[in-house]
């Protein structure tokens, strides 16, 4: 049996599952407008951020309508937990933002990786008007 990445990427409601990346972006934008796309993990229920258990990375991908291939538009590595003293002096949250300009409508996909609980994804449809 051959496994596909889609076989082990998990989805759920970010309000009840702390691993799901939350995409905050406008639903509609004008072509050429620069917009902020925020991605955070643990927005409602904070995810641990310790050396033993943490979000390792998150990526943002855009699949334009009618395109053949997706485009990776952001890639974040969360290594700061290693200097955060395991939350005794400072808490670090995996929350980042990208500024993007869209020429066509499509789907934003965020994927995150927890070193214990694996891969998680979410989607946000964006329409260029």
How far apart are CB 15 and Fe ion at their closest, in Å?
16
Q: Which two tokens stand for residue 84?
A: 């955060």
Between 20 and 23, CB nearer to Fe ion = 20
- Nearest-angstrom CA–CA distance, 51 and 87: 10
Which token pair is 114?
A: 């927890």
Q: Is 117 a catalytic residue?
A: yes
DSSP letter for each residue of 50-87 = SSSS-EEEEEEEEEETT-SS-EEEEEEE--GGGGTGGG
Residue nearest to Fe ion (CB): 114
Q: How far is the CB of 97 from Fe ion (least distance, A)?
A: 22
Q: Are the CB atoms for 20 and 12 separated by under 8 Å?
A: yes
Catalytic residue among 43, 114, 121, 124: 114
Binding site for Fe ion (CB under 5 A): 114, 116-117
Give least dist CB 116 to Fe ion, A. 5
Residues designated catalytic: 17-19, 47, 53, 114, 117
């Amino acid at each position: 049996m051959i496994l596909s990445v889609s076989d082990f990427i998990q989805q759920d409601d970010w309000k009840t599952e702390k691993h799901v990346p939350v995409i905050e972006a406008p639903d509609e934008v004008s072509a050429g407008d620069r917009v902020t796309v925020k991605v955070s993990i643990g927005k409602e229920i904070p995810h641990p951020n310790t050396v033993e258990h943490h979000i390792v990375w998150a990526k943002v991908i855009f699949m334009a309508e009618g395109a053949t291939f997706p485009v990776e538009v952001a890639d974040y590595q969360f290594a700061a937990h290693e200097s955060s003293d395991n939350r005794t002096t400072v808490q670090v949250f995996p929350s980042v933002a990208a500024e993007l300009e869209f020429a066509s409508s499509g789907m934003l996909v965020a994927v995150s990786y927890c070193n214990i609980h694996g891969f998680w994804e979410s989607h946000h449809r964006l329409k260029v008007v």
